[in-house]
Amino acid sequence: MGKLNISKDLSPKYFWDIDPGRLDAAVSKRLIIDRVFTLGTAKEIMLLLNYYGEKEVGEVLKKQNYIDPKTLNFVSRLFNIPLKAFKCYSRQRSNRPLWNS
């Protein structure tokens, strides 16, 4: 694992609700991976892959409760993981729509 300086290597706009300087790369791994894959650039995504490793990033993303559809398809193809393996894909909606679609 290389070095990851969150406040220098990643845009602070991803962490609008928390001070990026107080984030620990190991403790806040889920938050960091989620925000960068959802909002980050290709360079920042590669930085995380180099730091955490592809396997670890894939495992974290598979356990997320929610990933937007665009990001979900991207990470599914990037890591060659079937959509059904993601927790957020297999979860049922708690509120059923009132209409038939």
Residue 95 CB neighbour total at 10 angstroms: 5
**How do the domains of the chain map onto residue ranges?**
6-90
**Long-range pairs, 54-59, Cβ under 8 A, ≥24:** 54/79, 56/29, 57/33
Predicted TM-score (pTM) of this structure: 0.82
- The upper half-sphere exposure of residue 65, i.e. CA atoms within 13 Å in the direction of its Cβ, equals 3
Which ranges in 23-68 belong to alpha helices (H)?
29-39, 42-52, 54-62
Give the pLDDT score at 93. 55
The set of residues, in sequence order, having a beta carbon less than 8 Å from that of 51 and lying 6+ positions away, is 1, 2, 3, 4, 25
pLDDT tens sequence for the chain (101 residues): 557 778 788 888 988 898 888 888 888 999 999 999 999 999 999 999 999 999 999 999 999 999 999 999 999 999 999 999 999 887 755 556 666 65
Number of helices and strands in the chain (H, E): 6, 0
By C-alpha distance, which of 77, 5, 7 is closest to 37? 77
